[in-house]
């Protein structure tokens, strides 16, 4: 392991303000401190006298969404509190993407408003010779993602006609799932006989911590459900049977399927910001959540529209 400063050269980015730039869909990417869309908030026209940050580098947010780190394959402008990392020794695109993930995994150290401007350089990272084995196999060789959609119908999204609904009036009563301790379970490969999902409050991998041996669990949960980590407000749809770790709330409704379930998860995730800094997303709070949804001619949530919209999206055939 070495410090980041021993593996990368780093410097403060060009430090522009997006609001003062001229937007141009064919222009130069503008990278900010956001954790979404590879850090890119838009594209802008070239700014006279200011060279963009170089391509084949990592952008690193040290404020805002701290330690959001992304590989940039084209020259780019950047906003405040954003550093540029360039490898001291030649690296491939894949190696740089790997390092971006490793760096981002340190985000937990910078909760509650703590910035990383002065300390990111001391983060410990694996050396290249420690990770060489990861790049000896083409992990995408057998992975083909179908970009087609389930439905060819073009479904437009006009939120101006949506109505407010109380979540508790749509779903069955939320309940706390039986909690299993990971130390008491036998973890197996996901394709092992009788493997079952073990879902927790993790913010990764659709909430799935791993797969465990199904030892005739009596209190497993049927698939086709939405799970909510009540202390983390992590929200996911589960299409297959599963068991849970602690603090998992399950919600269901009779007409749920994987399409309208995923639509509803996307809407509920807009509520996450209300449940941070120790405020839990308890069962009563879930039931009383007000959300805006498309409605049918009877004034009820338009579940058919939600399903058709997800089906019309590219890559929906992989769901």
Per-residue pLDDT of the chain (319 residues), as tens digits, is 999 999 999 999 999 999 999 999 999 999 999 989 999 999 999 999 999 999 999 999 998 889 999 999 999 999 999 999 999 999 999 999 999 999 999 988 887 678 898 999 999 999 988 888 777 656 555 556 777 888 878 888 889 899 999 999 999 999 999 999 999 999 999 889 899 999 999 888 999 999 999 988 988 999 999 999 999 899 999 999 999 999 999 999 999 999 999 999 999 999 888 886 578 899 999 999 999 999 999 999 999 999 999 999 988 888 8
Helix (H) or strand (E) holding 266: helix 258-268
Q: Are 196 and 217 in contact (CB under 8 A)?
A: yes
Return the ∠ at Cα 314 (arms to 312 and 315), rounded to 5°: 115
Tokens linked to 6: 């021993």
Catalogue the long-range contacts made by 180-183 (C-beta closer than 8 Å, 24 or more residues apart). 180/217, 180/243, 180/244, 180/245, 181/245, 182/209, 182/245
Q: Of 51, 82, 85, which Cα lies nearest the Cα of 71?
A: 85
Q: State the pairing for strand pair 124-125/2-3.
A: antiparallel
What residues does 221 pair with on adjacent strands?
242
DSSP codes of every residue in 85-133: EEESS---HHHHHHHHHHHHTTGGGG-TT---TTTGGG-EE--HHHHGG
In terms of Cα–Cα distance, which of 26, 136, 29, 129 is closest to 77?
29
For residue 161, what are its two tokens?
Answer: 């006609």
Alpha-carbon distances of 194 from 99, 205, 215, 217, 284, rounded to whole Å:
35, 20, 8, 11, 35
Please name the residues in contact with 101: beta carbons below 8 A apart, sequence gap of 6 or more: 69
CA dist 94 and 39 (Å) reads 18
Tokens of 244: 């849970």
**CB burial of residue 82 (10 Å; 0-12, 13-18, 19+):** buried
Query: Cβ distance 39 to 68 under 8 Å?
Result: yes
What per-residue confidence (pLDDT) applies to 262? 97
Alpha carbons 265 and 83: distance in angstroms, whole number: 34
């Amino acid at each position: 392991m070495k410090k980041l400063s021993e593996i990368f050269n780093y410097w403060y980015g060009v430090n522009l303000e997006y609001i003062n730039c001229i937007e141009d869909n064919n222009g130069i990417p503008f990278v900010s401190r956001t954790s979404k869309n590879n850090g890119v908030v838009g594209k802008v026209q070239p700014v006279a006298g200011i060279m963009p940050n170089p391509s084949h580098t990592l952008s690193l947010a040290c404020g805002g969404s701290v330690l959001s780190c992304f590989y940039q394959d084209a020259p780019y402008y950047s906003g405040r509190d954003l550093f540029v990392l360039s490898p001291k020794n030649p690296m491939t695109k894949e190696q740089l993407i790997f390092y971006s993930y490793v760096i981002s995994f340190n985000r937990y150290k910078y909760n509650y408003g703590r910035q990383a401007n002065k300390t990111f350089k001391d983060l410990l990272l694996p050396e290249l010779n420690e990770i060489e084995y990861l790049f000896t196999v083409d992990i995408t060789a057998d992975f083909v993602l179908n970009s087609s959609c389930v439905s060819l119908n073009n479904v437009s999204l006009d939120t101006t006609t949506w109505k407010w609904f109380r979540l508790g009036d749509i779903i069955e009563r939320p309940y706390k799932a039986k909690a299993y301790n990971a130390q008491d379970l036998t973890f197996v490969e996901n394709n092992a006989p009788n493997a079952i999902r073990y879902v927790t409050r993790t913010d990764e991998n659709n909430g799935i911590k791993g797969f465990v041996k199904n030892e005739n669990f009596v209190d497993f949960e049927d698939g086709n459900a939405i799970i909510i980590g009540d202390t983390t407000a992590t929200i996911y749809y589960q299409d297959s049977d599963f068991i849970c770790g602690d603090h998992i709330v399950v919600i269901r409704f009779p007409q749920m399927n994987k399409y309208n379930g995923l639509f509803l998860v996307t809407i509920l995730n807009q509520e996450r910001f209300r449940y941070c800094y120790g405020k839990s997303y308890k069962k009563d709070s879930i039931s009383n959540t007000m959300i805006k949804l498309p409605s049918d001619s009877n004034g009820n949530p338009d579940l058919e529209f939600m399903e058709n919209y997800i089906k019309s999206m590219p890559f929906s055939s992989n769901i």
